[in-house]
Chains A and B, each alone.
Chain A
Amino acid sequence: MNISLILQMAADAEPGRIGLVCDGRRWSYAALMKAARGAAEAIARAGCSYVGLLDESSEAASIALFGAAIAGVPYVPLNYRLADADLAALLKRIDPAYLIGDVERVQRLNPDSGHQTLARADFVTEAEKLGETASGDEHDGEGIAAQIFTSGTTAAPKAALLRHSNLLSYILGTVEFGSASPEEAALVCVPPYHIAGIAALLSSIYAMRRIVLLPAFEPDAWLQLASSERATNAFVVPTMLSRIIPRMDAIGDTLDLSSLQSVAYGGGRMPLELIERALVLFPDTGFTNAYGLTETSSTVALLGPEDHRAALSSGDPVVRARLGSVGRPLPTVEIEIRDEEGKLLPAGERGEIYVRGEQVSGEYRGRSALDAEGWFPTRDAGWLDAEGYLFLAGRADDVIVRGGENISPGEIEDVLTSHPAIAESAAVAVPSAEWGEAVGLAVVARPGHAAPSEQELKALIKDRLRSSRVPERIVFLDALPYNEMGKLLRREVKKLFNS
Chain B
Amino acid sequence: MKAGSKLKSAVCDTEVMVIRGSDVVVECGGAPMAAERPATRAAINPAFAEGTKIGKRYVDAAATVELLCVKAGQGSLSLAGVALQAKDAKPLPSSD
Interface residues of chain A, those whose CB is within 8 Å of chain B, are 1, 5, 8-9, 12-13, 165, 172, 174-179, 186, 196, 199-200, 202-204, 207, 209, 233, 235, 262, 264, 266, 286, 288, 290, 292, 298-299, 302, 304-305, 330-331
Q: How far is the CB of A137 from chain B (nearest CB, A)?
A: 13
Query: Which residues 43-86 in B have Cβ within 8 Å of A in the complex?
Result: 54-56, 68, 70-72
User: Can you identify 19 A-B contacts, CB atoms within 8 angstroms?
Assistant: A5-B70, A9-B54, A12-B72, A174-B92, A175-B94, A176-B89, A176-B91, A177-B54, A177-B55, A177-B56, A178-B54, A179-B89, A186-B94, A200-B96, A233-B94, A235-B96, A290-B95, A299-B95, A299-B96
Q: How far is the CB of A237 from chain B (nearest CB, A)?
A: 12
Q: How far is the CB of B23 from chain A (nearest CB, A)?
A: 19
Once the chains are docked, how many angstroms separate the CA of A235 from the CA of B91?
18
Flag if B96 contacts A298 (CB, 8 Å): yes
Q: How far is the CB of A223 from chain B (nearest CB, A)?
A: 20
Once the chains are docked, how many angstroms separate the CA of A290 from the CA of B92?
12
Question: In the assembled complex, which residues on chain A have CB atoms less than 8 Å from the CB atom of B28?
Answer: none
Flag if A302 contacts B4 (CB, 8 Å): no
Flag if B70 contacts A9 (CB, 8 Å): yes
For A302, the closest partner residue in chain B by CB is: B95
Flag if B55 contacts A262 (CB, 8 Å): no
- Give the B interface residue count (CB, 8 A): 18
Once the chains are docked, how many angstroms separate the CA of A5 from the CA of B19?
14
- With A172-B19, A179-B89, A331-B90 in contact, do A290 and B4 touch (Cβ < 8 Å)? no
Flag if A286 contacts B93 (CB, 8 Å): yes
Once the chains are docked, how many angstroms separate the CA of A233 from the CA of B68?
26
Q: How far is the CB of A292 from chain B (nearest CB, A)?
A: 8
Q: How far is the CB of B26 from chain A (nearest CB, A)?
A: 18
Question: In the assembled complex, which residues on chain A have CB atoms less than 8 Å from the CB atom of B90?
Answer: 331
Question: In the assembled complex, which residues on chain A have CB atoms less than 8 Å from the CB atom of B96?
Answer: 196, 199-200, 202-204, 235, 264, 290, 298-299
- With A9-B55, A12-B54 in contact, do A266 and B93 touch (Cβ < 8 Å)? no
Q: How far is the CB of A238 from chain B (nearest CB, A)?
A: 15
Question: In the assembled complex, which residues on chain A have CB atoms less than 8 Å from the CB atom of B93?
Answer: 262, 264, 286, 288, 302, 304-305
Q: How far is the CB of A492 from chain B (nearest CB, A)?
A: 29
- B17: interface (CB < 8 Å): yes
Q: How far is the CB of B87 from chain A (nearest CB, A)?
A: 10
Which of A5, A177, A288, A331 contacts B94 (CB under 8 A)?
Answer: A288
Known: A174-B92, A203-B95. 11 other contacts (CB 8 A): A9-B55, A9-B71, A172-B68, A179-B89, A203-B94, A204-B96, A266-B95, A288-B95, A302-B92, A304-B92, A331-B92
